Structure 1
Amino acid sequence: MSSQDETIFIVFSDDWGEHPSSCQHLFKCIGSRYRTLWINTVGLRTPKLSRTDIDKAIHKIRRMFTRKITPCSSKKLPDELTVVQPFMLPFQNVRYVRHLNKISVRRAIQRFIHTQQIYKYIVTLVTAPNGCDYVGLFDENKIVYYCVDDFSEWPGHDKRLILEMEDALISKSDLFFATADTLFTKLKKYGKPVFSFSHGVDVELFSNLPGRNHHWLDNIPRPIVGYFGLFDDRSDQKLLADTAKNHPDVSFVITGNVVTDVTLLEKEPNVYFTGPVPYQSLPAIVAGWDICMLPYKMNALTESINPLKLKEYIATGKPVISTPLPEVVSLSQWIHIHSGQDEWRKAITQILSGKELTGNCEERRQFIHEHSWENKALFMLDKIFEQIG
């Protein structure tokens, strides 16, 4: 039996099954080979007395007490992966709440570890700063901080608290994986191993668009410029509204959860909100688009993001237009990168007329296959086991 076969992974991340995060993609691969305990944790933001937050809280509490976990796709959970939902409270700015959460999480992990008859190494991987309270409790061989965003810049978050938590997590971690250059640069100064680790892509899913569009697009006139994913304060609504006004003959479709005020966009008759669809249905949505778009604002909030949908868009072979996010600029071979409504207006006109092409098809296929989630998972495993020795 190899040292890898004797390894247990403990993962602190988002709720398994709620949405297809990068960590879930990775552990669909890793969790099919290595025993993994996935801990659904509470969010970083203190909830408010809003309908959305109340609904989320009720859903979370139900999962804590029913222990029912639903995979985020039609596929079953990976064979070696176990998901638990310990009882936890979200008010992390209260010291006693954090202490209570720590006790609850420790008991859940101890129960799991005691069921494992053979293991030699424990590796803990964390994707958010609030994981700082739970690492180092089980004599782990390695603690990994998989840094996917600068959460301190997110609206509604307690910046001081999050930076304090992240400092604690960084001090306890042995190595880092960073999804953006700004995050890599920040972590590099701590003198520990840090690896640049951009997001991957489900090659099979997004490289094979179905022959028929999703039925939700049936009554939306072509051509269509589309966006899928969470639509929030990072989205540049003014850019999108102005672009829609400049192209009254083009439909602009947003598919996904909307968690910000979109009154500005709802005024435009050629902007459509379909709501979210299951992850496996996204290719059918994209099949009906003529252009994929990434209309993000350019500010401190977006400087560190690496949109998960970026390589998914590229894999479809559809033209992609984006604002100049740092992580998008590095892939300019495959993306039409433009700032402001005038540039977007001209670019959309040229793309729809067939006058602008991006990248060689064979080179694109090779690029996407190199960045599959399977290859990303193998890279992560190699670097972790190198550190274990």
Structure 2
Amino acid sequence: MPNVLILGTAEWDSAIATNQHYVTRELAASADVTFVESLGLRRPTLRPADVTRMAARARRAFGATPPAEAAAKPGRPRPDRTSIVSPLVVPVHRAPTRALNRTLLRRATAGWLGSDRPRVLWTFTPVTYGLEEAADLVVYHCVDLLAAFPGIDRVAVERGERRLAARPGVVAIASSPAVREHLTAAGFPRVELLENVADVSVFTGASRPAARRRPAAIFSGNLTTAKLDVPLLESAARALRGRGELLLAGPLAAGGGSFTVELERLEALGARHLGLLTPAELADVAGTCTVGLIPYAINDYTTGVSPLKCFEYLSSGLLVIGTPLPAVAALARSNPHVVVAGGAAFAEAMDRVAAPVSDPTIAERVDSAARHGWAERGQVLRDLLAAELNRLPVR
């Protein structure tokens, strides 16, 4: 059984589950897995959210989570054979801190470093501090154009990708064609395209028949100016007034800039913020709506995004209306239940929110998402891991 070290870009108990959380769950079905929480590629600020997050990391690193905090936030379930590591590193990844961070990270991952072979490094960040040197197999799972995200240390990311690309035998996984192009340009000799999928079974189970739907459009995800086209969302809210409801589900993401003022404007236009919902709660709400929105801005970062919420929406029986992100536009070409609209056309598309919908149409949408779930993807990843390990020379 391989020992897999996963370097994440988020906390294990972060508000919204992403690829790294699902990959951990799926690989743990056939491996011992250690999940290492974010090394802090985005430089922290003195905003309250960042200070709180750093304080929480320090408590976890020393194994001291106050009972009140644990009760308020039960946390994400931990798969069997999985351990969570909270490394206490300096969130600056340049020459002055490199040696210290390397020592701190190796100390935090000593269990994996001393584990039986084969050892696998499955990293979602290119900033690895040389952990690949102790691995028999390295997988770089790139789900975003990290260097383009606001606040991320571009120099550290690009330097890390060059180092990983030069390692013999490294396997790179890209979540979108744009990310694949980026990795190829960065020098990775082998790039596998595995576009994002969703935990569709949770949403399919909560999908409601047409008679129990209401005219409502929902956006679920981090509310952040780094991704969302706020003027576009405002135009959608105006178009829906008196005809339907705009629902926003998700946390205000400090990492992408404050969203407080923007949310106030949207609420003044009639939007309703549902806050952070569990996957089951989100599925219950989405299953009663008619449209799912992907109102992303088009910028250097989002061109590499492959929104897994496309398949969450479809498996809830929703029509998907999104801006012309490359990944969304590609899906729209093969799925009639995905509509691409930008600019004024996005607000005009809100007419679809109150349009009648039939049970056969809902069933078609749900069926179109069935092949894009983690049940199938998990098997693909386990098969990939097994195949790569079988190629290793016998020790």
TM range (shorter): 0.7 to 0.9
Which range moves more in the overlay, 142-151 or 310-319? 310-319
Alignment of 1:174-323 (within 5 A): 174-189=170-185, 190=187, 192-209=189-206, 223-233=215-225, 234-249=227-242, 250-259=244-253, 260-267=258-265, 268-323=268-323
Q: Contact conserved, 2:165 with 2:188, CA < 8 A, in 1?
A: no
Q: Distance in 2 between matches of 1:12 and 1:241?
A: 37
Which residue of the partner structure matches residue 155 of structure 1? 150
Q: Distance in 1 between matches of 2:33 and 2:316?
A: 31
**1:344: how far off?**
2.3
Q: Work out whether 1:11 is the aligned partner of 2:9.
A: no
Given the two structures, how large is their TM-score scaled by the length of structure 1? 0.86
**1:16: how far off?**
1.3
- Give ranges in structure 1 of 5+ residues lacking alignment: 1-5, 213-221
Find the residue that maps to 2:62 and give its secondary structure.
helix
Which residue of the partner structure matches residue 123 of structure 2? 126
Q: Work out whether 1:46 is the aligned partner of 2:40.
A: no
**1:181: how far off?**
0.4
Q: Contact conserved, 2:249 with 2:277, CA < 8 A, in 1?
A: yes
**1:289: how far off?**
2.4
Q: Contact conserved, 2:202 with 2:279, CA < 8 A, in 1?
A: no
Q: Contact conserved, 1:106 with 1:134, CA < 8 A, in 2?
A: no
**1:358: how far off?**
12
**1:171: how far off?**
2.4
Q: Distance in 2 between matches of 1:75 and 1:165?
A: 29
Find the residue that maps to 1:124 and give its secondary structure.
strand
- Give ranges in structure 2 of 5+ residues lacking alignment: none
**1:80: how far off?**
1.4
Q: Contact conserved, 1:180 with 1:327, CA < 8 A, in 2?
A: yes
Change (3 A) 1:10 1:251: same
Which residue of the partner structure matches residue 135 of structure 1? 131
Find the residue that maps to 2:217 and give its secondary structure.
strand
Q: Distance in 2 between matches of 1:111 and 1:346?
A: 56
**1:359: how far off?**
9.6
Given the two structures, how large is their TM-score scaled by the length of structure 2? 0.84
**1:331: how far off?**
1.3
Amino acid across the alignment from 1:31: A
Which residue of the partner structure matches residue 218 of structure 1? none
Find the residue that maps to 1:205 and give its secondary structure.
helix
Q: Distance in 1 between matches of 2:365 and 2:216?
A: 23
Q: Distance in 2 between matches of 1:150 and 1:74?
A: 28
Q: What are the superposed Cα offsets for residues 199-257 of structure 1, whole Å, 9 maximum, x if unpaired?
A: 12213201011779xxxxxxxxx632111110112101101112222331132111111
Find the residue that maps to 2:299 and give its secondary structure.
coil
Q: Distance in 1 between matches of 2:296 and 2:150?
A: 15
Identify which of 335, 339, 344 aligns with 1:336: 339
Which residue of the partner structure matches residue 83 of structure 2? 82
**1:159: how far off?**
2.4
Which residue of the partner structure matches residue 347 of structure 1? 349
Q: Contact conserved, 1:178 with 1:184, CA < 8 A, in 2?
A: yes
Q: Contact conserved, 1:237 with 1:265, CA < 8 A, in 2?
A: no
Change (3 A) 1:289 1:365: closer
**1:73: how far off?**
7.8
Q: Contact conserved, 2:207 with 2:287, CA < 8 A, in 1?
A: yes
Find the residue that maps to 2:166 and give its secondary structure.
helix
Amino acid across the alignment from 2:82: L
Q: Contact conserved, 1:322 with 1:336, CA < 8 A, in 2?
A: yes
- Aligned residues with identical type, % of pairs: 21
Q: Distance in 1 between matches of 2:295 and 2:141?
A: 26
Q: Distance in 2 between matches of 1:365 and 1:288?
A: 14
Which residue of the partner structure matches residue 387 of structure 2? 386
Aligned pairs, number: 367
Q: What are the superposed Cα offsets for residues 25-63 of structure 1, whole Å, 9 maximum, x if unpaired?
A: 122121132111111132211111111211111111111
**1:314: how far off?**
1.3
Q: Contact conserved, 1:319 with 1:358, CA < 8 A, in 2?
A: no
